[in-house]
């Protein structure tokens, strides 16, 4: 079985968009691949974080991913900072990466423009990401397009290392998911529903309560026509509600259109809200059972143990090859 590895940033509260867009993909992959999934909390501190909030969010996200269907018996689930080998390998890789290469990363250029105090960590972050991947000989790295360049850097670094020191790392390949459903903001359906949205007015968070979910969906922006059909250009709001319904029901947009063809906007919204409430209440129930449970601790302890054994072996090989240590 081929191995995939990916990191899920703990940068915000997970949304209905994350569920339909990325978690759904991971749940599919778990049956095809041996999956390593971790929370890159060390990446998160490249920008300012509230320490208490960061800790809480990491645990919360892990519990939510599992509640959404990531099966701990099919995935190795772990927290990056509980494995000290990542940062250690990162140092060796930093010493084998050129400033020119690292300076080409477009995400760094974008992010550093938005920040007053840019840290060195933000600059070297793609090299830590290369270490995350190379420690485990991952075949594929599922990421969004914005991360493709980082995986390509990991390829360049590993190819060069192998050439210089002998075969050590598997060369990873990015796995970019086919373009799936894109869920838009309910109050501005021309914008992606995003966990980093400031007001959160048009964003459904996975842990929103029933009343909030209903209120947000019932006040979703639509259009002045009154007929329900899918048209992204002229009816982005209605199309978004149809997309949400079809994704959660796992039926096509055509079938969804047919289902709602005689409905008015109020009825459409009500039915979409019923479905979202139904789906999220199942997830929330699982989440509530998991958070603060011994089971969650066990899952993370297992992830920590399994990955530390693999990573230790790889790092010792690397140290040995570059001439570090006595043996």
Binding region for ligand TRP (CB under 6 A): 5-7, 9, 40, 43, 129, 132-133, 141, 143, 147
If we measure between CA atoms, which residue out of 152, 150, 169, 153 comes closest to residue 161? 169
DSSP 169: S
Binding partner of residue 129 among ligand TRP, ligand AMP, none, CB cut-off 5 to 8 Å per kind: ligand TRP
Alpha carbon distance 204, 213 (integer Å):
6
144 sits near ligand AMP (criterion: CB under 6 A): yes
Burial class (CB in 10 A: 0-12, 13-18, 19+), 253: middle
Q: Which is nearer to ligand AMP, 185 or 260 (CB)?
A: 185
Binding to ligand AMP by residue 121, rule CB under 6 A? no
Reduced to 3 states (helix: H, G, I; strand: E, B; else coil), residue 142 is: strand
Taken as a whole, the chain contains a residue count of 327
Which one from 192, 227, 312, 321 is the annotated catalytic residue? 192
Find the shortest distance in angstroms from Cβ 196 to ligand TRP. Answer: 12
Question: Closest Cα partner for 243 from 262, 233, 256?
Answer: 256
Active site residue 314: no
By a kind-dependent CB cut-off of 5 to 8 A, residue 141 interacts, out of ligand TRP, ligand AMP, none, with ligand TRP
Say whether residue 182 binds ligand AMP (CB under 6 A): yes
Q: Pattern 14-43, binding to ligand AMP, x per CB under 6 A? A: ---xx-xxx---------------------
**Are the CB atoms for 38 and 79 separated by under 8 Å?**
yes
Residue 279 annotated in active site = no
Structure tokens at 163: 């050439």
193 binds, among ligand TRP, ligand AMP, none (CB under 5 to 8 A by kind): ligand AMP
Residue of 148, 170, 195, 227 marked catalytic: 195
- Our measurement of the distance from residue 148's CA atom to the centroid of its chain's CA atoms, rounded to an integer in Å, reads 14
Which residues are bridge partners to 39 per DSSP? 79
Stretch that binds ligand AMP, among 123-131, 153-161, 186-194, 318-326 (CB under 6 A): 186-194
* Distance (Å, whole) CA 199 – CA 222: 19
Alpha-carbon distance 145 to 253, whole Å?
A: 25
The residue number with the shortest CB distance to ligand AMP is 21
Which residues of the chain form contacts with ligand AMP (CB under 6 A)?
A: 9, 17-18, 20-22, 144, 182-183, 192-195
Known catalytic residues are 111, 192, 195
């Amino acid at each position: 079985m081929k191995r995939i590895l990916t990191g899920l940033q703990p940068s915000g509260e997970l949304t209905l968009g994350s569920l339909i867009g990325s978690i759904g993909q991971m749940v599919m992959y778990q049956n095809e691949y041996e999956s390593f999934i971790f929370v890159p909390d060390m990446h998160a501190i490249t920008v300012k974080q509230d320490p208490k909030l960061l800790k809480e969010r990491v645990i919360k996200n892990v519990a939510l991913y599992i509640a959404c269907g990531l099966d701990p018996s099919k995935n190795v689930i772990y927290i990056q900072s509980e494995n000290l080998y990542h940062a250690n390998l990162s140092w060796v890789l930093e010493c084998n990466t050129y400033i020119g290469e690292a300076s080409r990363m477009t995400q760094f250029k974008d992010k550093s423009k938005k920040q007053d105090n840019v840290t060195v960590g933000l600059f070297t972050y793609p090299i830590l990401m290369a270490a995350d991947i190379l420690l485990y000989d991952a075949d594929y790295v599922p990421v969004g397009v914005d991360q493709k360049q980082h995986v390509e850097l990991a390829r360049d670094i590993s190819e060069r290392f192998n050439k210089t020191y002998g075969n050590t790392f598997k060369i990873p390949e990015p796995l970019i998911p086919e373009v799936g459903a894109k869920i838009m903001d309910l109050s501005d359906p021309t914008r992606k529903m995003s966990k980093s949205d400031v007001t959160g007015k048009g964003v459904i968070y996975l842990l929103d309560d029933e009343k909030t979910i209903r209120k947000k969906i019932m006040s979703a922006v639509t259009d002045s026509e009154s007929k329900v059909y899918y048209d992204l250009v002229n009816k982005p709001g209605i199309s978004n509600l149809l997309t949400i319904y079809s994704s959660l029901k796992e039926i096509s947009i055509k079938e969804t259109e047919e289902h709602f063809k005689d409905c008015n906007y109020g009825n459409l919204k009500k039915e979409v809200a019923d479905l979202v409430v139904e789906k999220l209440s199942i997830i929330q129930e699982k989440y509530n059972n998991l958070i603060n449970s011994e089971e969650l601790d066990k899952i993370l302890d297992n992830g920590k143990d399994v990955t530390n054994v693999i990573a230790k072996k790889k790092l010792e090989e690397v140290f040995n090859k570059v001439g570090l240590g006595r043996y």
